[in-house]
Amino acid sequence: MKTTTFRGPQAKSPKAHGKKILLALVGVGLLFGALNVSASPEQDRQNLLDFFSSKYPDIKAGNYVYGALAFDPDAMAQYNSIMDFPPFSSVVEQGKKMWETPFKNGKTYASCFPNGGKNVAGNYPYFDDKAGKVVTFEMAINACRTANGEDAYKYNDMKTMGTLTSYARTLSDGMPMNIKVQGPAATAAYEAGKSQFYSRRGQLNFSCASCHVANAGNHLRSEVLSPAVGQSTHWPVFRGGENLVTLQERYVGCNKQVRAVPFAPGSVEYNDLEYFHSYISNGLPLKASVFRK
């Protein structure tokens, strides 16, 4: 069994490092306590921002959209170089072709969304009171397909849904995340997503917060852990070449890494998690289809 090792951005003695991690874990415990005492979604978001700004005062909140890159100038320089001539541009172009190709009835995806699909992705997920559930952008795309006589795509199919959203989400680049939680049913879904984020699971007994709150900015083996705030703004991502990964597929991967049985992409559990996860990035700009390790 491999040992999970956390290392901070700079080398520290084992004693000092252990103290730092302990304080971080105590801090996130206190934060979680604050999140559970009748906190509103906006209080949750502000608590996380305060936690990160206290832990990393030199990093501006707006830079959290870059994830782990915000902690590593060399990695940021590599990112900028790759994004100048992204090796995955052909996939995004294929997504554009899919978006613009008419359905059999002559309509296109643009006909299903306000402003032809521009500056809309930041409003997803939203809670549909009539349906009584969270609706993700991918669900809206499938609703568009079925309303126009086409078969729905599978959420974990990167050749269809993944490729399509690699372009469709770029139509909202620069739009601030704008998630609403209004009413008892929406609040219940948000709270369910928050519970998913903070609940420990799997043989390693980790939660999402174990890595992306308490240990954000520290190393897990060779990788720097990204902060939860800002994570939902840039999906789907390309993790090397044309290796496309959507947000909920990343949830699957994270659950497997802690040796937990994952839910299915598009499940109520992951949709609610995405609802909470997206809300805490409210106000940060979207930038889809980018390089990540």
Q: Nearest 5°: phi and psi at 25?
A: -65, -40
Binding residues: 112, 144, 208, 211-212, 250, 254
In terms of C-beta density within 10 A (0-12 exposed, 13-18 middle, 19 or more buried), how is residue 10 classed? exposed
Average pLDDT, the chain: 89
Binding-site annotation: residue ranges for heme c: 112, 144, 208, 211-212, 254
Residues paired with 178 in a beta bridge: none
To the query of whether residue 169 is one of the catalytic residues in this protein, the response is: no
Alpha helices by DSSP H, the chain = 14-36, 41-55, 73-84, 89-100, 137-147, 163-168, 184-198, 208-209, 247-257, 268-279
CA distance 70 to 271: 27
**Three-state SS annotation for 70-116:** HHCHHHHHHHHHHHHCCCCHHHHHHHHHHHHCCCCCCCCHHHHCHHH
Among 49, 254, 260, 268, the active-site one is 254
Model pLDDT, residue 223: 84
Which structural domains are found in the chain, ordered by start? Answer: 42-291 (1.10.760.10)
Give the pLDDT score at 142: 98
pLDDT of res. 36: 52
Ranges of the chain whose pLDDT falls below 50: 1-27, 29-30, 33-35, 37
Q: Are 287 and 173 in contact (CB under 8 A)?
A: yes
CB atoms inside a 10 Å sphere around CB 63 = 17
- Closest by Cα among 292, 262, 287 to 68: 292
User: Per this entry, what is the length of the chain?
Assistant: 293
Residue with tokens 């599978």: 154
Residues belonging to the binding site for substrate are 250
pLDDT 10s digits, 102-151: 999 999 999 999 999 999 999 999 999 999 999 999 999 999 999 999 99
Supply the pTM of this predicted model.
0.88
Q: How many CB atoms lie within 10 A of CB 68?
A: 20
